[in-house]
Structure 1
């Protein structure tokens, strides 16, 4: 898939003409233009093309009309369809000579994460509550026109065209979550939802990578159960004639919050398993004093820097335990803990189960 940034003078008709010029000579370059998306508001066009390599796409575009794409990435057409809803030209345009398609590729992306409390239930309870949860989510996504890109027992990635559909869907899933999960352990019933937005091809290597990464970070570390980006908030207000989001129910990140979050997670991902890493290193690397970092982290995550680092490591350790990636001592040291005993204590405090017991119940 390629991305073209076009000038203000370019219209949907011009893009359709350019697409037709590609189709006339595509066979000379071993290419097949499957379809395209054009966003008149954001002045971007994205072409989905079967081709032997990037050079063939550039050469075809250059020979056909001279408009060489700004970026090309390799994609799985099945994933493209999950995000964007189609991989061929829409049928409604087939009768027109130019097959004009004024269809933006901009999408709202929802990440849903449930806590691992389900993993601590007995097998029969786990099955019942998992089925209830997933049935409810599936119904709500269908109701609000959400396309599931991928999912597993605890996570969803969903694509929406409408920001209103995305926000209302998230609120409905949240509201009904308490009715489909166990009542005997309310402290463990956790559901996090985040909404971000973006286009499929940026400077990253994967579809919608920037938007997905931001939404995933929001789910992972924002203390509020439902968070949205500043752009999603602005789009919602615009789509609903300046109706405002209830800030008591939805955490709206500012642009500065988003930049800090991205910087925070990018750096943490690089150093989290270094046992010598400390808060002084953290604050210096992010460009804040210790007190400034503490305030910003508390505001965003509800945690101190030390607590944030420890919880990040525990989350990574849990993933390694699930994958059976070594024994408890090996995982403790691999995730930055200096002592397996201290690791087990922290794990128990966080997940209310010892790592040894967790392995017995859910891995072996």
Structure 2
């Protein structure tokens, strides 16, 4: 049977005790709707509650809530138990809470999400076997380091690690530790064959997108992929860290702490680009129109955040997307070229070779050897 997580936006008067009581009311009648309430999370600060429920469908879940107490959820998404546990640390009520009559669980589902990885220092090094071997070794070090900051590894592949933290402070301190370890290993000077990238954002498991923590993950990925700087923090993470640490300001040349304006601009930029990169006619004017910005202001913002002009940003986005598609081995080169917004196969091959110093066909051959090896 499917597992769902729902979100309830509650009033300021609602307390942890009230939410616990509502949970118990669900459990008393859940069998009538073929549902099973697994657990819940309550965030008193943000006044949100999240229920994890096994149910035949969303309608049954809503009916159970309605009959139990009338508190129908604002949003419902289908989730995977293993993913929920990897992010939030549990998929059932904690044992200690079960000793209480109403099972009070004052545990917010708010998490700080980190995307971190060691990438080649220059694009042409993506096929260097020694470089890739060293990257795998460094990812092992990252994996072993995060546990000391109470981080939970959600996902790992050859390009990045996805990590969940309860504490914003622990997440940022972990990022600084990883940066320190990297600099001790490879130094601070430019020209290294390796580059550390860390993106941090914080949010709730059910927001505007349909996926679990999807909004927060996408934002952290955008910092990891496109923003200049080694460690990039969202405005949310910056403000929470400074409030948790007596308003200590984050000041470091290698740490980029975005303000609310830049955060909003970048999210809109990435959202628009993600939906339109396949359009070969996409250009700077389209960005300006969507973002409601003048051409000069749009140009300055994109350069300041990404280090690239709008046209270079589009091309780089498309080429990196082409790497992802070619790596899956489900697409041929022509399909990838046109899917990523290149209206000429020859021009795509030229741009690919100019950037990565290798033809797309050679890249496919390398990835096939890597999979078979």
Query: Of residues 121, 129, 132 in structure 1, which corresponds to 2:128?
Result: 121
Count of residue correspondences:
362
User: C-alpha separation between the residues in 1 aligned to 2:227 and 2:51?
Assistant: 35
- Cα distance in 1, alignment partners of residues 69 and 183 from structure 2: 56
Given candidates 72, 76, 79, the residue that maps to 1:75 is 79
Query: Cα RMSD over matched residues?
Result: 2.3
Shift of 1:356: 3.6
Deviation at 1:188, TM superposition (A): 3.8
Superposed CA offset, 1:126-183 (max 9, x none): 5742442122111211111111111111111111001111001111112223556799
1:304 equivalent in alignment to 2:309: yes
Q: Deviations over 1:235-276 (max 9, x none)?
A: 111211212212423111111112111211122122212222
d(CA) in 2 for partners of 1:181 and 1:331? 35
1:49 paired residue number: 53
Mapped partners of 1:355, 1:116: distance in 2: 18
Q: For residues 43 and 136 of structure 2, what CA distance do their matches in structure 1 show? A: 39
**Structure 1: which 5+ runs fail to align?**
none
8 Å CA contact 2:113, 2:165 repeated in 1: yes
1: CA distance, partners of 2:79 / 2:331: 33
**Residue of structure 2 equivalent to 1:92:** 96
* Structure 1 equivalent of residue 13 of structure 2: 9
Determine the C-alpha separation between the residues in 1 that align with 2:328 and 2:31.
46
Q: Deviations over 1:202-255 (max 9, x none)?
A: 232111111111111111211112111111111111211212212423111111
* 2:350 is the counterpart of 1:337: no
Helix, strand or coil at the partner of 1:46: strand
Mapped pair 1:171 → 2:172: no
The answer to whether the 8 Å contact 1:228/1:253 transfers is yes
TM-score normalised over the length of structure 1: 0.92
- 1:60, distance to aligned residue in structure 2 (A): 1.1
- What aligned pairs does 1:307-318 form with structure 2 within 5 A after superposition? 307-318=312-323
Q: Aligned with 1:94: secondary structure?
A: helix
Separation in 2, partners of 1:301, 1:12: 43
Change (3 A) 1:90 1:264: same
- The change in CA–CA distance for 1:115 and 1:72 in structure 2 (over 3 A counts) is same
